[in-house]
Structure 1
Amino acid sequence: MRSTAIEGLIVLDLAVHTDERGWFKESWQRARMTGEGLQDFRPVQSNVAFNATAGTTRGLHAEPWDKLVTVGTGRVQGGWVDLREGSRTFGETESAEIGPGTAVFVPRGVANGYQALEDDTTYLYLVNDHWSPDAPYVNVSHRLVDWPLEPVNLSDKDLANPAELIPVAPRRILVTGADGQVGRALRKVLPDAEFCTREEFDITDPPERPWRQYAAIINAAAYTDVDGAEDDRATAWRVNAEGPAQLARIATEHNLTLVHLSSDYVFDGDTDRPYTEEDPLSPVSVYGQSKAAGDIAVATAPRHYIVRTGWVVGEGRNFVDTMRGLAEKGVQPQVVHDQKGRPTFAGDLAKGIAHLLTAQPEYGTYHLTGAGDEVGWDEVAMATFTALGQDPDNVHPVSSAQYFAGKRHAPRPSRSTLSTAKIEATGWAPRNWRVGLALYLA
């Protein structure tokens, strides 16, 4: 497997087995090739082009799919130009001879063409989306490549292809739950993504999309009314469990990366240390149970990141804004002291999600919260009052039993602190929640 001047364009050396009958090769061997580092591009269509005359030239075509090209008979000279918008090798060209012992992986957005070097040449290629007359195609002139033979037999369309390099937009990212705290924060981090509210994209009944033109789905949609879930169980399960299962099915079928926002409430809090990703799920509320079921469903998608977080503070209704409002009104609130955790600011969470999509560490579950000391909700309230120049003694700590006395409520985990060691090992450093609080209030 050899790299080229175009990022992601890979030349593969194939084993060709010959005898008196001819030869045999494996032009696509998923386990071996992905084991050597080629992406698992999941081909869905196989195409064959026969070229009767040497010099026959086709291209250059940038189609909205990845390709693996080789030959069945004869030899060709392959030619490529990188048209991917934002690519560090945009505009670079590459050319290589392809015989029976060679295959080339061509990423989506790289214009592909070839010239037959022998009569009766058969050109073979696998693609990971079905051909459609409505798909977006970008074609450029074959003259951008130096061919070994005089080009002949070009189609009228290929003769008319422009020399101008026309950028091909990358695959898109779809974000659900766009009007939530995390969804709003993601807008600032991923401005080119497609953001959908619940009305625009119901994850329990996902509308059709040209999914092969997407790279990832970020599921920030959820039923988050912890107490309400105790009575409205059907809705909580439909949104938090069945919806993610639908997205996992789409991600699996179309080879997408699925990022799913999960919760510290999948644990019961009965621990003397921060929870790791390997700890067993043990939710104590209907909300936590529905989120745990969603985690299990998402884990069926081969390319998934389950991002567990807790105590989220961002644009929208949140605990810190509530405390700010009470402080400004001179109210002295009662706040529970026996639920422990660490606040997570939505902007930091959004940047951590973008990091996972960019760095592409091993798929799986990652805990992503603010860093720093473990505190109770009362301490977060006191820190908020202090930052606003108010007396922190105006916050009155109470137990959960006292706070919820006489109220119908869901049980909460007594400790929600999550270990972030795993995501830190990928190069992401969570910000201390106290720094995040100061910046948020400022």
Structure 2
Amino acid sequence: MKKLLLFGLSFLSIAVSAQTTSKAVVSKKADALEKQIIAWRRDFHEHPELGNREVRTAGIIAAYLKSLGIEVQTGVATTGVVGILKGGKPGPVVALRADIDALPVTERVDIPFASKVKTQYNGQEVGVMHACGHDSHISILMGVANILSSMKADLRGTVKFIFQPAEEGVPLGEKGGAEEMVKQGVLENPKVDAIFGLHINSQTPVGKIVYRPGGTMAGVSDLQIIVKGRSAHGAYPWSSIDPVVVSAQIISSLQSVVSRNVNVTENPAVVTIGVIQGGTRFNIIPETVKMQGTLRYFTADDEKLVIGNVKRIATKTAEAYGATAEVLAPYSNHYPVTFNDVALTEKMLPTLQATAGRENVLLRPPVTGAEDFSFYQQKVPGIFFFLGGMPKDGNPITAPSHHTPDFYLDESGFTLGVKALCNLTLDYMAMGKGK
């Protein structure tokens, strides 16, 4: 028994030593790639493309993966690229994901590689900008592909590199994003056992990684409410059923969904109306008012509760005034909760801590933003974490946020993302499938 125990301890020591060695190798390779990663990022930043339009971006990714000897699939979910790297030893299949699309935002940042691109989006001319950091995600994952392909002979399993289009959504009438990639079989052939993804954050200092087990980003449904009344001259409101007044009452009443229906001590929720449209002239009461908004929640039960109460309040309030309300939720998009598998997060947390330093890996509160990485997590266990992209002397309160013209990233934090994704992959493989 003593000999068996000593053998087991010896084997564990060898395994730990091997993992420590692999992290040192990864760190050295990532540091050597830093200038290339930044150069890639700057090129993608200067040439951004909207969802389902990432033709140039996808072409660069595919060509680079092929140059590394990685099997490449293109045209997945319109413009997605998938690389498959088969290791020299048997083991699990790990997927790594980067989103590749930009946003309809006109850049204001004074940098040499600022975007000057303009295009048409939903019938309007818009600027195009990587205002959420997807350019850094692409470059980080290309760096990971470089490092892991150089370790192919010793790789204990297979890696799928998923470069996904249209995370920010697509124009009305189109399909795209993670949901479409899953439908087209990106998690099959070979079947993925676990998936890892990251998101740069402009309000988290470089060198930091933040994470949360369970619900980490909100599920989201967009919302449309069409209120129909009876039109009349503005001087004779008693002849109308005024949909503007009805809509005002609906908006006010919807605030009670979170404050009076959701148990906010367990999970947060959001009900926001962002658009209200009605009328053509100051002295005409319109027949119809249209509202659009967003709903956020962190559990399937709260999703049902929030949507159910929004529909009930809108329709019954309209009925009380003699009007009608048609409620569509979801209207055009729906993302599930981004849910980090609790057991997998617990198992892989030491890897993140060993990579960034225990003091630099921080537990964060849930985020009411949404991510379509959640569609992958519905099918396989996954972890989605955040990577610091704010200068160390920056202020999280005043640092420009994502999706704004002034969005800015400190590029010195990119290599930590490369190291984290590489080490998560190698350590998961070392643990073995199902362990």
Please say whether Structure 1 and Structure 2 have the same fold, judged by a TM-score greater than 0.5. no
Quick one: higher RCO (CA 8 Å, sep 6+), 1 or 2? Answer: 2
Per the normalisation by structure 1, the TM-score is 0.24
Per the normalisation by structure 2, the TM-score is 0.25
